[in-house]
Structure 1
Amino acid sequence: MEVVGYISLFFVGLVLGTLGGGGSILSVPILVYLFSIDAVMASAYSLFIVGTTSLVGTFLKLNVQMVNLRVGITFGLPSLITIFSTRKWLIPAIPEVILQTESIIITKRFLIIGLFAVLMILASLTLIRKRKESQSEQEYSGPYLMGVGALTGVLTGLVGAGGGFLIIPALVYFAKMGFKTAVGTTLLIITVNSLFGFMGDVINYQINWYFLFSVTVLAIVGIVVGTHLAVNVSNQTLRCFFGWLVLGIGTLILAKELLV
């Protein structure tokens, strides 16, 4: 299973390079189910893998002018603060058993993975639903976008995800971006959010650096390949594919957690 896991992490980078998100929705299940890593630690490792890989992807997208720095800063700074705070203080404060009765047990693991799946399903619907691509990339409200960024940071911190599956729909819907520019801008935001969120985990947990670096290298190779593949694919095609991918994986994870 671990061999399959290593191969799968190459595809994490491939999906990030092609779609600008989805790295965390793949890496967290891979780490939990194929490497048998605890859900909380898997979410921490996911932040490093996705953040480092997205950093490489950001430079690649900058070279083709597919990153909106203004929106990235407006959205990213509030989310940076909230994701670090969530990882540093909120996650450690959640008890291992949140609720226990004779018939129901709600654990910390179920909360994290379950919330993860529900957010994926909701976010996917905004991308699958057909809408006309905006011709302007400046039609957004700064304060409103900052608020959305802060909320996204909290949710990203809770599930240990880079947040692409939340950030891309937010940028497409609120910032009126074309999908490809939203992808590049999202990679920038993911880089900052993920790596700063991981800093909170370094303080709280013992990290297996050898394992983490080895799987991250595979993901970086994947994002380089994925970035080149995405050049000749249309906005609408990428957006719909990403939406259905998120919906499918979110549904599978939720079903597995509810049936276990």
Structure 2
Amino acid sequence: MTALAVALAVFVGISLGLLGGGGSILTVPLLAYVAGLEPKPAIATSLLVVGVTSAVGAITHARAGRVRWRVAGVFGAAAMAGAYTGGRLAKFVPGSVLLIGFAVIMIAAAVAMLRGRKDVSDESSGPLPIAKILVQGAAVGLISGLVGAGGGFLLVPALALLGGLPMPVAVGTSLVVISMQSFAGFAGHLAGESIDWKLAGMVTAAAVVGSVIGGLLTSYVQPATLRKAFGWFVLAMAAVVLAQEANIWIGIAVAIVAAIAGTMAFMCAHYARCPLRKVLIDPGAIPRRVPLGNR
């Protein structure tokens, strides 16, 4: 199973290279269900893998000028404090509860991927909202430290809105923040967890190789299409985790909802007469009732 885990880690790295921070959401399920680690060591090891892989990805963005170091420093410092605290607190929470929490984060990440990202055209010239950045950075870091997720789907919108960064710069800056908070969260877990360093090293190396491959593939793949496909896959994986850790019927319910939503999305993408399109895209097309007195 170790060989399979290493092979799949390449896929996680490719996803990370193509999508920014989103691909790291599969690292914990990979380590827990394929490599066979207990939940807490899987979360700790995931933070190491995500931290190293994000740092490698950030180098490319930094060379291209897509990192705002001041924003990364402020947001990253708060995220590191939150992640270290989350890592220390994780030892008081049952492993199954952490994985259920991670499944909830997976659902949120999948929804964010399916909705897509809104670009920010111009970089804000006003002062940074330091207080908001510190609060949101600490909150994202706390979640990351607890459940082992990189939190890219939370960081990118936050950096774009609070930091006023264009989307490509927000992605590059988020990788710096993800690496900072992941290492801090990993340090918080080290005191209470035993790490399989050999497995961690192999999975990390495979993910780094995958991220390089993913970076090379960006010009050949439509990011929006890939992000939506990956979002559906993450939603399916969340159903599996919930079925394993919470209740099989909860997992089945999530899977059914995902299947229905996926079918509706497919129908609306390929057929012009999709009633859902009128509701979601053109609400004004819905006929409204006119009071009798106004007719």
Give 2:29's aligned amino acid.
Answer: P
Instruction: Give the superposition deviation at 1:244.
Output: 4.2
TM-score of the superposition, structure 1-length normalised?
Answer: 0.83
Give 2:169's aligned amino acid.
Answer: T
Give 2:95's aligned amino acid.
Answer: R
Please, what is the CA RMSD of the aligned residues?
2.5
Is residue 2:111 matched to residue 1:125? yes
Q: Is 1:83–1:193's contact at 8 Å kept on the other side of the alignment?
A: yes
1:152 maps to which residue?
A: 140
Structure 2 unaligned blocks of 5 or more = 249-295
Q: Is 1:25–1:249's contact at 8 Å kept on the other side of the alignment?
A: no
Is residue 2:112 matched to residue 1:113? no
1:11 maps to which residue?
A: 11
Is residue 2:49 matched to residue 1:49? yes
Cα gap change, 1:216 to 1:208, in 2 (>3 Å): same
Give 1:79's aligned amino acid.
Answer: A
TM-score of the superposition, structure 2-length normalised?
Answer: 0.74
Q: Is 1:179–1:239's contact at 8 Å kept on the other side of the alignment?
A: no
The higher radius of gyration belongs to: 2
Once residues 221 and 46 of structure 1 are traced to their aligned partners in structure 2, the CA distance between those partners, rounded to angstroms, is: 16
Q: Is 2:14–2:211's contact at 8 Å kept on the other side of the alignment?
A: yes
Once residues 228 and 65 of structure 2 are traced to their aligned partners in structure 1, the CA distance between those partners, rounded to angstroms, is: 23
Once residues 81 and 37 of structure 2 are traced to their aligned partners in structure 1, the CA distance between those partners, rounded to angstroms, is: 27
Give 2:99's aligned amino acid.
Answer: I
- The one of 229, 233, 237 equivalent to 1:249 is 237
Instruction: Encode CA deviations 1:18-74: one digit per residue, 9 max, x unaligned.
Output: 111234321110111111100000000001111111111111111222222232222
Structure 1 unaligned blocks of 5 or more = 95-107
Q: Is 1:22–1:246's contact at 8 Å kept on the other side of the alignment?
A: no
Give 2:48's aligned amino acid.
Answer: F
Instruction: Give the superposition deviation at 1:226.
Output: 1.1
Cα gap change, 1:158 to 1:132, in 2 (>3 Å): closer
1:208 maps to which residue?
A: 196
2:177 maps to which residue?
A: 189
Once residues 147 and 92 of structure 2 are traced to their aligned partners in structure 1, the CA distance between those partners, rounded to angstroms, is: 14
2:90 maps to which residue?
A: 91
**Higher-RCO chain (CA-CA 8 Å, sequence separation at least 6):** 1
- Number of positions where the alignment pairs a residue of Structure 1 with one of Structure 2: 246
SS of corresponding position for 1:60: helix
Instruction: Give the superposition deviation at 1:223.
Output: 1.0
SS of corresponding position for 2:218: helix
